[in-house]
Amino acid sequence: MKIFITGAKGQLGKEIIRQIEDRYPTYEVVATDIDNLDITCSDQVFDAILSAKPNVVINCAAYTNVDRCETNEYKAFSINGIGVQNLSAASFKVGAKLVQVSTDYVFDGTANHPYRETDSLNPINVYGASKKLGEDMARTLNPRHFIVRTAWLYGDGANFVKTMIRLGREKGKVKVVDDQVGSPTSTLLLARCILDLIHTDSYGVYHGTCQGSCSWYEFAKEIFKLADMDVEVTPTTTEEFGSPARRPAYSVLDNFMLKLIGLDSFVHWREGLEEYFEGGFIQQ
């Protein structure tokens, strides 16, 4: 099997490549990132995919800075929307499956239950709206698609876990939002899920997050506990924190479709975080 990966230098892209090398050493990987492929350029995308002729295209490329999306709307929709349009059309042309990684931010956060794949989308910021457009492009242009929504992702790269540890070491205290609730998810677990999915023909929309939920404040407390760090963690509100972009207050996802097809291998978020620490991603 030949797998074409965009955003290969990001947290998820690196983990998918790592697991392919470990689980499927005979597979061929075509790894691309912004330095050798601009997914917003249709000609570049078609040239690359028609030349490689992959069996699967996994799109890990995205503009994920939620606050900057508010002031860079054109860039957000170009990368997260038009980029997916190009990848969807090109993958369809060569008969390849497409994996589009999406987000909990396509929901508005007003639900009183974990969101299922069938719940209505209503993004409240530019990032979420641009990712919704990407979902629409994947769904419309390549019927052999897997749209995988995830949340609060951390792995081998810049992320909330590493930011907390850095701030804890530098300042000894942090203020963290306590009125946004979600499910922290490790790239280790998400990559496993994606690699399981691509070996099926169960196309459609999936939620892929760790079990359970917490606030960012509770997440930070658990990070410092596992890191054995004595850091003062103070809860604050979204309003007090003052971010430019609105965030969903509650964006917990239910891996309902994965459960239905027997592929929900996600553990509780605390267990996933422990595995992350044990994997050596955090330099103590």
Please check whether residue 106 is in contact with residue 149, taking contact to mean a CB–CB distance below 8 angstroms: yes
Integer Cα distance of 282 and 284 in angstroms: 6
Integer Cα distance of 224 and 232 in angstroms: 10
For residue 11, give every residue at least 6 positions away whose Cβ sits within 8 Å of its Cβ, in sequence order, or none: 153, 154, 155, 156, 157, 158, 159, 187
Query: What is the SS3 assignment for 86?
Result: helix
CB count in 10 Å sphere of residue 95: 11
Residue 127 falls in the annotated catalytic set: yes
Catalytic residue, candidates 63, 105, 115, 127: 127
Q: Which amino acid is at 242?
A: G
* Total count of residues recorded for the chain: 284
Query: What is the SS3 assignment for 94?
Result: coil
Please check whether residue 180 is in contact with residue 132, taking contact to mean a CB–CB distance below 8 angstroms: no
Instruction: Enumerate the active-site residues.
Output: 127
